[in-house]
């Protein structure tokens, strides 16, 4: 399988998917983010009691969604894929290092260049977050 860094456009330090465990093209992906004790946010959120920020959990879920789309439809690569919306986000338990965040995303539908996904994140089989992810892919305007 291709390397994640060759699929996602995110730079070093802002890729929140470390490994793809399973993919059913056009339907479903299971991926992993290893939450380490040396993450950039650990000393700041919160000092002495690090908790992974919810926005980073959402970003990890959104990146899993992007990977599902870009692996399923490789002709979309090179066209920016942006997070356009997050609905029904729920955070059920804090995520603390060290832990393994399992990301699961399901493709729901596509309307034009707008994509809809259902995503969830879990640690040790316990769901910690979920959200409806909306993404859009469109060429940049010059």
Whether 116 maps to a domain, the answer reads: yes
Whether 133 maps to a domain, the answer reads: yes
Q: In CATH, what number is assigned to the domain containing residue 17?
A: 3.10.129.10
pLDDT at 142: 62
CA–CA dist 33, 31 (Å, integer): 7
pTM for this prediction? 0.95
Residue 90 is inside which H or E element, if any?
strand 81-91
DSSP state of 75: G
Whether 31 maps to a domain, the answer reads: yes
**Among candidate residues 47, 58, 64, the one with its CA nearest the CA of residue 8:** 64
pLDDT digits (tens, 9 = 90+) for 82-138: 999 999 999 999 999 999 999 999 999 999 999 999 999 999 999 999 999 999 998
The answer to whether 45 is a known catalytic residue is yes
**Residue 21's domain spans which residues?**
4-137
CA–CA dist 60, 73 (Å, integer): 20
Whether 95 maps to a domain, the answer reads: yes
For 89, the token pair is 């986000």
87: β partners: 132
Whether 113 maps to a domain, the answer reads: yes
CA–CA dist 59, 14 (Å, integer): 9
Q: Quote the number of domains for the chain.
A: 1
Whether 142 maps to a domain, the answer reads: no
């Amino acid at each position: 399988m291709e390397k994640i860094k060759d699929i996602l456009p995110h730079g070093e330090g802002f890729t929140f998917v470390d490994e793809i465990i399973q993919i059913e093209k056009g339907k479903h992906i299971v991926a992993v983010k290893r939450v380490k004790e040396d993450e950039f946010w650990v000393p700041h959120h919160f000092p002495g009691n690090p908790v992974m920020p919810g926005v980073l959990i959402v970003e990890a879920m959104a990146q899993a969604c992007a990977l599902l789309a870009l692996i399923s439809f490789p002709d979309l690569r090179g066209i920016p894929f942006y997070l356009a919306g997050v609905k029904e986000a729920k955070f059920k338990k804090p995520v603390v290092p060290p832990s393994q965040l399992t990301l699961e995303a399901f493709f729901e539908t596509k309307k034009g260049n707008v994509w809809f996904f259902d995503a969830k994140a879990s640690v040790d089989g316990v769901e910690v977050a979920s959200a409806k992810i909306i993404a859009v892919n469109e060429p940049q305007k010059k």
